[in-house]
Amino acid sequence: MKSKELILILDFGGQYNQLIARRVRECNVYSEVVPYDITIEKIKQKNPKGIIFTGGPASVYGENSPKCVKEIFELGIPVLGICYGMQLMTHTLGGKVARATKREYGATQVSIDNNSALLEGFEKTNKFLMSHTDFVEKVPEGFTNIGFTNSCPNAAMENKEKKLYGIQFHPEVNSSINGTKVIHNFLYNICECSGDWVMSSFVEDSIKTLKEKIGDKKALCALSGGVDSSVAAVLLNKAIGQNLTCIFVDHGLLRKNEGDEVEKIFKEQFNINLIRVNAKEQFLSKLSGVTDPEKKRKIIGEEFIRVFEKEAKKIGQVDFLVQGTIYPDVIESGLGKSSVIKSHHNVGGLPDYVDFKEIVEPLRSLFKDEVRKTGLELGIPENLVFRQPFPGPGLAIRIIGEITDEKLDILKEADSIFREEIANAGLHKSINQYFAVLTNLKSVGVMGDERTYDYTVALRAVETTDFMTGVWSKIPYEILETVSSRIVNEVKFVNRVVYDITSKPPATIEWE
């Protein structure tokens, strides 16, 4: 799928780069993040409607600071420089950047010229997030000032004729009031976009492209029941129907009833050619006696590949392997050093043994929220589309110590109660991940007049946007009380429930 309109985001290493790309897309314009040193030829080839320079930690006077060539401003393509991007534009075009004695940080009142096409529709002052030490002391020739703060004389500037704009503040973050409107203004008032990036056309175009690409050849997909692989599978199914085979390896470490639900949705609702492999015994036997978390992960990863391989071989030659890779997995870092690669659903990474010609990654250009919108467009049930993340190794890393059938049953029941009560309380959308953990700890309790010596279940619930950091969720006591009381009453062999009140860092979200 290719949208006709493109905004290129040149990544100078700022922490909000992906957010800028998402904001542009929220305004219905397709955007791509590219390394700052992309060549002029490449830019011309891509033919963007506009270019955005991101912020970044460097100073334009730094020896190794990322730079750009002057020619980029002579292409006739509108450019918006944000923070470091504005300073770089200034420096490259002959203005002056200076170092302030102290850093300006936080939501700050910015006085603006709302006659500018960039700031149209704003009041004369508006709160935007400032986060900088360097600032533009003198705008380049041909530019005029369109914004300032108490400590920053040039918080925004424009060269109307050449359609070059710079802002010292960050419109992409939530603490900038109506910040997205600045981006919207850039896209529509300055780049003259029409807004052709909508999920319904993504679905339509993708199906068409996949049909053309795959024709009547065969494709194979490892379906985990997670959002990404589910959306990829349904999209492929719409394009090539029964020529798609999905293999769902049920390692027996899924949540209560999950395996059956996945099978039901994909077989019954979408009539997908799905092979479910019930491999619980095989996985549990390999895991028998294993307590080390890393060993558990490794065994599950390897076993997953083995099972998948065996099934794939039965199918014979496949031409395409479908992967649910999404955009944040493939974005290259602006400083060109590292790229983020995640091997999520296929726990062990890419199955390199399957005899296929090509990989198909239909969601490669989408952010997670766009994958979800696509899922809804395709008619995938909401509870699956908004499913919380679930680790590839499943409940194995939520059972501390050895994994046994009995422990699995205990955890499935306790976890199911916790999730049910969170949903009953309407908290399932605000808590990003929540689950039960079966600790390896037994303690003394009393039930009726009987002494018990049973397991302790821990509850974990976190609020996070990126899952890299997070805070423990302040679930109301009454709800915790209900959950605790239900678990000890309804789940055999549990006599104690504790709540994990550690944020990440220093703890991780999962216990193993």
Catalytic residues, by residue number, are 83, 170, 172
Smallest separation (angstroms) from ligand XMP to the CB of 258: 15
Q: Which is nearer to ligand XMP, 375 or 392 (CB)?
A: 392
> What are the E-state strand segments in 12-94?
30-35, 50-53, 79-82
* Buried residues in 239-272 as b, exposed as e (16+ CB within 10 A): bbeebbbbbbbbbbbbbbebbebbbebbeeebeb
Point out which residues pair with 67 in neighbouring strands: none
Give CA–CA dist 245/49, Å, rounded: 40
User: Helix (H, G, I), strand (E, B), or coil: what is residue 484?
Assistant: helix
What's the min distance (Å) between Cβ of 395 and ligand XMP?
11
Choose the stretch contacting ligand XMP; rule: CB under 6 A; options: 114-122, 186-194, 323-331, 504-512: 504-512
Minimum CB–partner distance for residue 224 and ligand XMP (Å): 8
> Residue 127 or residue 364: which is nearer to ligand XMP going by CB?
364
Contact 221, 232 (CB under 8 A): yes
Closer to ligand XMP by CB, 370 or 512: give it: 512
Binding flags for ligand XMP, 373-392, as an x/- string (CB under 6 A)? ----------------x-xx
The distance of closest approach from Cβ of residue 467 to ligand XMP in the complex, given in angstroms and rounded to an integer, is 4
Q: Please, what sign has the CA dihedral across residues 368, 372, 375, 381?
A: positive
Output the smallest distance, CB 78 to ligand XMP, in A. 38
Cβ-based nearer residue to ligand XMP, 50 or 391: 391
Among 66, 272, 393, 473, binds ligand XMP (CB under 6 A): 393
Residues 470-499, interacting with ligand XMP (CB under 6 A)? none
**Listed ranges 36-44, 78-86, 321-329, 501-509: which one lies at the site for ligand XMP (CB under 6 A):** 501-509
Closest CA to 39 of 66, 65, 69: 69
- CA distances to 51, 121, 164, 165 from 116, in Å: 18, 9, 12, 10
Binding to ligand XMP (CB under 6 A): which residues in 28-87? Answer: none
Strand partners for 322: 221, 360
Minimum Å gap between C-beta 505 and ligand XMP is 9
Contact range with ligand XMP by CB under 6 A, out of 188-196, 405-413, 421-429, 503-511: 503-511
How many residues touch ligand XMP under the rule CB under 6 A: the total is 13
324 binds ligand XMP (CB under 6 A): no
Pick one of 170, 344, 412, 460: the residue that binds ligand XMP (CB under 6 A): 344
d(CA 149, CA 114): 15
The CA angle 42-46-48, to the nearest 5 degrees, is 120
- Rg of the chain over Cα atoms, rounded to whole angstroms, equals 26
Q: Which of 265/462 has CB closer to ligand XMP?
A: 462
Report the residue number, 23 or 345, with the smaller CB distance to ligand XMP: 345
By the 8 A CB rule, do 237 and 216 touch? Answer: no
φ/ψ of 157, rounded to 5, equals -150, 155
Nearer to ligand XMP, 368 or 442 (CB): 368
Per-residue mark of binding to ligand XMP, 258-297 (x: CB under 6 A): ---------------------------------------x
Q: Cβ distance 176 to 7 under 8 Å? A: no
* Stretch (H or E) spanning 6: strand 6-11
- Letters for 403-442 (x = contact with ligand XMP by CB under 6 A, - = none) are ------------------------------x---------
Residue of 37, 261, 332, 510 that binds ligand XMP (CB under 6 A): 510
- In the complex, least distance from residue 483 CB atom to ligand XMP, rounded to whole angstroms: 20
Cα distances from 244 to residues 216, 222, 236, 241, 247, in angstroms, run 10, 11, 7, 6, 10
Residue in this structure with the two tokens 């950091």, named with its chain if needed: 469
User: Burial level of 448, CB count in 10 A (0-12/13-18/19+)?
Assistant: exposed
Spatial distance between the Cα atoms of 217 and 364, rounded to a whole number of angstroms: 21
Please report how close the Cβ of residue 184 comes to ligand XMP at its closest, in angstroms: 32
Residue 146 vs 247, nearer CB to ligand XMP:
247
Cβ proximity to ligand XMP, 145 vs 388, nearer residue:
388
**Binding residues vs ligand XMP (CB under 6 A):** 297, 344, 347, 389, 391-393, 433, 467, 504, 508-510
